[in-house]
Chains A and B, each alone.
Chain A
Amino acid sequence: MWRLVLLSVFALPFQILWSPVAAVEQNGPPSPARTSAAQPPPFTVVARQDNLLFYPCGRCHEFMPEHPLLVAATRPPPPHPESLNHGGDRLWCQTCHSLDDADHLRTLRGTPVPFDRAYLVCGQCHANRERDWLFGGHGKRVANWRGTRELYLCTNCHDPHDPTIKPRKPRKPPPLRADLGPVAATPKGPIMIWDERVSP
């Protein structure tokens, strides 16, 4: 009897390792515990929805049931953006917005998404960016480097209707030390005072 007990005790780890459940788990989709290293750290976002000037959009849109074909043919009046400079000619209003539920964005499958989770909509095309953003390689973390992780949303920095960051005037260059002019940069390096003396 004691031999049987001893055998079962020794065999227990092997039973667990080779059990059908373990085999299914190895072949099936990875369990959350195994991929924990690839899970993005928890985060909150800088809420933006309440700052939208005309939100909730449904306040107007519930009284303005528009025909989808009419919307496609005409340019929507203000407060809507004048133009859509995003995605070439591939996108139009209802790629991301829904006429049925104007208070939410929509995914390509039609799932409503709150404005404060806009990254779910952006990430459908920009999946690499979204992954970087979730893990901290893209975008910007607010205020602290440890503790609660608060992130700026995609739409805090990019205008979704014209997402490219525009060129602008830089801040003023560093001041010059007294008596010195700016050192002229050339492809071969800066022109130093001894170069000026040597050259005729």
Chain B
Amino acid sequence: MTGNREPRDAPCPRDGSRREFLKNLGVGGVATIAGTGVALAAPNLGGDALADAWSDFFQDHYQRMTPEELANALARIERRARRRFGVDIRCEDTPPLDGVVFGYALNISKCRGYRECVEGCVRENNPGRDSQVQYIRVLEIDRGTMNLEGSDHYYDPETVPRPGKFYLPVQCMQCDDPPCVKSCPVEATWKEPDGIVVIDYDWCIGCRYCMAACPYWARHFNWTDPWIPPAEINPVTNYLGNRPRAKGVTEKCHFCTQRTRKGRQPACQEACPTGARIFGNLLDPTSEIRYVLENKTVFRLKEELGTDPKFWYFTD
């Protein structure tokens, strides 16, 4: 373990006495109340940035917002991205499709550990490039074992697959009985009618209970302000999907809601060069995913935990 973090330049803010702290609190409170009156009277004071900050503070939970409030929230997200990254993005609220429950199947005899799915996911979903947020982890495991503890996801040999190893990509399993949802104290995460477990990033308080509850290491926390090079931002975003996130919130795979709810394949399926990934509607008996579930030997990861994942692994 090496410690190479640079020392902080700014002094620790907790230097003053308790009296000073209370004094500052009082001054700040008065300023806030005064600011409230001003902002209510003239919300455009200081340009969009001030008005947006004000509206963000009072933004309601996604499921309680009226269509008008939601439209305003989407416009604010677009403006925020323009201010922060200098890029025009389009943020939509794509509703779940009727009669659709998404499922995923992954052929571990086809997966060869190229990590193309990880790359495709990062390109699509706008995670911070420096914050170690990657929704998919490809585990390299000894053949003949299922030892997750002994797996390695930092493998970097000259060529894969390595002899004697197999590869198991792990991402959010979109559990039907998701422990992360149960653990969230503010109901910032929930299961949608199409089976996707989503997060309202604006409602998340960053307590990370969901990360502790998830048995698949699927949830990731933005420890730093997630920065994306402007040229790499995907401008097609969804409120419950790949819109740019803030520091201090949790995020995870959402089956590319911005794509799949419009009938497209998820980015990881599109990126996979071996055809190991099968995605589809579990309620459609003619879908590919149903063929796999009915005709292949499938298993689910940590099935004994009873989380009922909608992500299956299979072999030929």
Q: Which residues of A contact B (CB under 8 A)?
A: 37, 41, 132, 135-147, 152, 157, 165, 167-183, 185-190, 193
What is the interface of chain A mostly: helix, strand, loop, or mixed? Answer: loop
The answer to whether A152 and B275 have CB atoms under 8 Å apart is yes
Of the candidates B115, B137, B223, B260, which one forms a contact with A171 in the assembled complex, judged by CB atoms under 8 Å apart?
Answer: B115
Q: For A139, list chain B residues within 8 Å (CB).
A: 275
Mark out the residues of chain B between 251 and 308 whose CB falls within 8 Å of any chain A CB in the assembled complex: 260, 263-265, 269-270, 272-275, 278-281, 284-289, 291-292, 295-296
- CB nearest neighbor in B for A167: B159
Known: A165-B274, A177-B132, A178-B5. A171 touches B291 (CB 8 A): no
Known: A140-B272, A167-B160, A180-B1. A174 touches B153 (CB 8 A): yes
B4 at the interface (CB under 8 A from A): yes
B237 at the interface (CB under 8 A from A): no
CA distance A136 to B116 in the complex (A): 21
Q: For A143, list chain B residues within 8 Å (CB).
A: 264-265, 270
CA distance A185 to B4 in the complex (A): 23
Q: Which residues of B contact A (CB under 8 A)?
A: 1-5, 112-116, 118-119, 130, 132, 134, 137, 142, 147, 149-161, 223, 260, 263-265, 269-270, 272-275, 278-281, 284-289, 291-292, 295-296, 316
Q: For B289, list chain A residues within 8 Å (CB).
A: 136
Query: Can you name 13 extra interface pairs (CB under 8 A) apart from A137-B278, A175-B130?
Result: A136-B280, A136-B289, A143-B264, A143-B265, A145-B263, A145-B279, A157-B274, A157-B275, A168-B114, A169-B159, A171-B116, A181-B1, A185-B150
The answer to whether A173 and B265 have CB atoms under 8 Å apart is no
Q: For A185, list chain B residues within 8 Å (CB).
A: 150-152
CA distance A178 to B291 in the complex (A): 44
Q: For B137, list chain A residues within 8 Å (CB).
A: 174
Q: For A174, list chain B residues within 8 Å (CB).
A: 118, 132, 134, 137, 153-154
CB distance from B115 to the nearest CB of A (A): 4
The answer to whether A167 and B112 have CB atoms under 8 Å apart is yes
The answer to whether A168 and B134 have CB atoms under 8 Å apart is no
CA distance A189 to B149 in the complex (A): 4
CA distance A171 to B138 in the complex (A): 11
CA distance A182 to B151 in the complex (A): 12
Instruction: Provide a sorted-by-A list of 29 A–B residue pairs whose CB atoms are within 8 angstroms.
Output: A132-B316, A136-B280, A136-B291, A137-B295, A137-B296, A138-B316, A139-B275, A140-B269, A141-B265, A141-B288, A144-B265, A145-B264, A145-B265, A146-B281, A157-B273, A165-B112, A165-B274, A167-B112, A168-B114, A169-B159, A171-B118, A171-B119, A173-B115, A174-B154, A177-B132, A179-B2, A179-B4, A187-B150, A193-B1
CB distance from B269 to the nearest CB of A (A): 8
Known: A141-B288, A177-B223, A179-B5. A172 touches B263 (CB 8 A): no
Q: For B280, list chain A residues within 8 Å (CB).
A: 136, 145-146
CA distance A50 to B247 in the complex (A): 50
CA distance A145 to B282 in the complex (A): 11
The 7 A-B pairs of least Cβ separation, nearest first, read A136-B288, A189-B149, A171-B115, A140-B275, A167-B159, A185-B152, A135-B291
CB distance from A166 to the nearest CB of B (A): 8
Q: For A138, list chain B residues within 8 Å (CB).
A: 275, 316
- CB nearest neighbor in B for A144: B263
CB distance from B138 to the nearest CB of A (A): 8
The answer to whether B292 and A137 have CB atoms under 8 Å apart is yes
- CB nearest neighbor in B for A189: B149
The answer to whether B260 and A145 have CB atoms under 8 Å apart is yes
- CB nearest neighbor in A for B167: A170
Q: For B288, list chain A residues within 8 Å (CB).
A: 135-137, 141, 145
Known: A144-B263, A144-B265, A185-B152. A170 touches B113 (CB 8 A): yes
